[in-house]
Structure 1
C-alpha cells in the first residue's frame, strides 16, 4: 500500500479528500495531512511518502517550494498540485520542479482518482525497475566474484596462462598487466578441517565461508586484493601493487583472521605469505612454494604465520627436483633391461653435483630412491629388502658423491637381476597353470580372452608370455594338444573314431580327419592301422 501526504492551509479541503476518496480501493493507506509546507517537511523526512498532494498558494512555504523540497527528500515521489484559476501561472513552475499532475479548483474527485491510479502505476513501474536494477547489480557483482575465482584458479594452475588469455583477463578485471610494485600471495588454511566440524556438511560450509569472509574483510584496506576459496578449507588472497605502508599491515591483518576464527569457531588457521613476484606467470610457482612451506611447518604445529624466504624456496626447489625425478626413474625401472635406469641414475648424480647440492641432500635422495624402487616397483621381497638395507647402510658411510652413485647403481643391477629371475619363475608357474587348465578343459577350447580373464592377466600380455615360455601361440598349442590326445585315444581300439573326434573338440569326424591328416600326414584310421600292424 502507498502513502499519500495532503498539504493545504484549508482544513476543510484536506478532510474532504480524506473522506471522499476510496484510498484502500486505489491501493493507498489513509493519507497523512499537514496545513503548511513547514509542517509537511518533518513528515516527509520521518518516513516514506509516495505521493504529495499540495495546494499551490499557502502562507510561508508555497506548494512549488514544498514540491521542490519533497523531490530532494524522496526523488521518486509523485506530486499533484492543486490551484485556482487565478493561480494558473504556477503550472509551469510546478512542472519544472517535478510535479506529475496539476488540477484546478473546484476539485473533481474522479479526476483526483484518475491521477492517483496513474501515480500508483508509475510507482509500481519504478519499484519494478529498481528491483530489477538491484538484481542486475547483484548478478554483475556475483559475476565479478565468479570471474575473480576463475582467474585465481587459472593463474594458480601449473601450466602457465597464454599471453593473450592473460591480457584478456587483466582487461576484464581491470588489473595491471605488469604489476610494477609487485604481487604477494597469502594462503590461509583451516587446521584439522576434517575433525573441526564433524560430518555436518552445513557446518563445514559455514566454516569455509567464514574463513573467506574474514580474509576478505581483514585485507580489504590493503588496496587491490583478489580473494577466493580454492578449497573448502583454503582461501587464497593476491595483493596487487600494495604500498609500502600497507605491506607492513599484512601480518597484523592475518592475525586478526586467526583470532576471529579461533574465537568464533574454535579452529586454528595456518597462514603462508609468499615472496614478492612481479609477473602474473610467477603465481603458480609462488603458490606451490607457499603450499609446500605451510605443509612443512604444520608438521611441527598449527596456527602459525610463515613467510617464504630464500631458505624455504631452496627447500621447495629440492623437493620439486625429487618430485620430478623419482617418477621418471621409477618408470625406467619397470623394464627388464636395467641399462636405461643405470644410465639415467648416472646422469642424475652428475646433474645434482653440478647444481651444487650437498652430500646430505644427495644421500637423502638416494635413500628415497632405493625405498621407492623397493616398495613400488620390486614389491618388497625378502631378497630385495636385504639388498635395500645393505645399500642403505653403505650410503650412510659414504664420503663422496661418486661412491653414492656406485652404490645405487650396484643396487639397481643386483635388484634387477633378482627381479628378472623372480618374474621368470612366476611366468613359468603361470603358464604351467594355464596349460594344465587347458588340458583339463578339453574338449572345450577357451579363447585367449577367456583364459586371460580367468588368470587375471591382459590378453596381449598372456599371448606374449605363452609364446615366450612354450615357443607356440595359444592356438597352435591347443591344436597340438588335441592331436596328442587324439593319438592317445586312437591307440585304444574300442573307442570309435567319431568318438575320438568328439572328445578332443572337433565338431564333425570329417573335419577331425582333415586336421589329423594335415598335422600327422595320415588319416586317423591309417594311424590306428599302423599302430596295430
Structure 2
C-alpha cells in the first residue's frame, strides 16, 4: 500500500498541531505530516516535498487558502486538496471545488467524518499505473463508461464553432446550454493514431480520454466536450465573470490549471500524450469561431516548442496583429519575457510573499508559459532562481554583519526565522549558526 505526505496549513499553530495529532493516531498510510502557518510557507513545502494532500484553512493573512490552492496547482496540478474552514461560505466552497478541492468541511471538525474523508481522498489519490493499455482493452472498457454528446448535439456545436448561424431556441431544444455570457475553448490533440494498437483498442483509448476530460470538468464547470476530429477533443466552456472574478483567480489561470491536469491525467492513466490549446475569453456566441481558431493556432505552436504541452493563445499572439508571429518574432518576444522577469526578480526577490503569479502579472504573460520559458532560457526554474538570490544574500549578511537570524530572515523575504533556517539548511547543508562558526 502506498504511503503519503500530508501538508496541513492554518495560521493557528494549535489547529495545525491538533490535526497533525489526529492524523498521526489515525492508522492511515501517512509517511510524513508537515505543517505550515502561512500560504507562502506552505508553497515552499509544495516545491520541496513530494506532497500528496494539502489540508488548508481558507481565510489566512497574506495568502488565502483559495490562492494557496491556485498556486499549488500551478506547481503540481495533481496534488489533492482538502479545505477545513470556520467560514460556511457558498462562494468559497464553490471556488474551492472548482480548483479541485475534494471536500469543504466546517470547523469544529467531526473527527470521524474528517478521517473518513481523508481516507477517501488518499485512496483516490493512489497513482494508477501508466499502462497505455498494458492491461488490455477490457480493463479500459471496465474503467470507463462510454460517454459522448448525441450526434445532433455534436453537429450543432461544430456548426457554432465553424460560424454557421444557430438559433438559441433550437440549441436549447437539443439540450445544449449556451447561455454564456462569456465563452472560451480548450482543444486537445491526442497522440493516439500512431500508437501500435489495433483499431478497436485505439477507439477505447479515445473514449477513455474523453471520459477523463469530462470527469475533470464535471461539477463546477459549465461545458460541452466532444470529439471534433478523429484524435481531437474540443471543450466549450461558459463563464459568468461577475461571479467567477469574485474569487480573484482569473479564468485564464483556471483554464491553464485544468489543461495541465488533463495532460497529466491522460498520460498517467492511459499513457496518452497530448497537446492543449487555450483560447481567450470573449462575450457572445458569435465569437465561438474565433475562439475555436485561437485554440487551434495555440496547438500549432507546439511545433516550435515540442517540449511544452499547454499553450494559451494570448501568450503567443500579443497585441491586435492578426498575422501569426514569425519564428524570429517569437524568439525576440520570448527573450524579452525572460529578461523582464529576471529583472523584476532581481529587484524584488526579498519581497515577502513573492509568487510566480505576481511576476507573470507584472509582465502580462501566463504563469504556465513564464515558468516554461524561464527554465528553458535560464537553465533553472523561476523559484530556484529566487531561492538562489535569497540564500546568497543571506550568507553574505550572515558572514559580514552582526544581524541576528530573524533580522536576516526578514531582509531576504521569509516570514519566520524557523522557515528561513529550514530553507538555509536545505540549500547549504548547514544551519545558519553552523555556517557562521
TM-score tier, shorter chain, comes to: 0.3 to 0.5
Tell which has more relative contact order, 1 or 2 (C-alpha 8 A, sep 6+): 2
Considering only CA atoms, is the larger Rg found in Structure 1 or Structure 2? Answer: 1
When the two structures are superposed, what TM-score results if normalisation uses the length of structure 2?
A: 0.36
Larger strand percent: 2
When the two structures are superposed, what TM-score results if normalisation uses the length of structure 1?
A: 0.30
Larger helix percent: 1
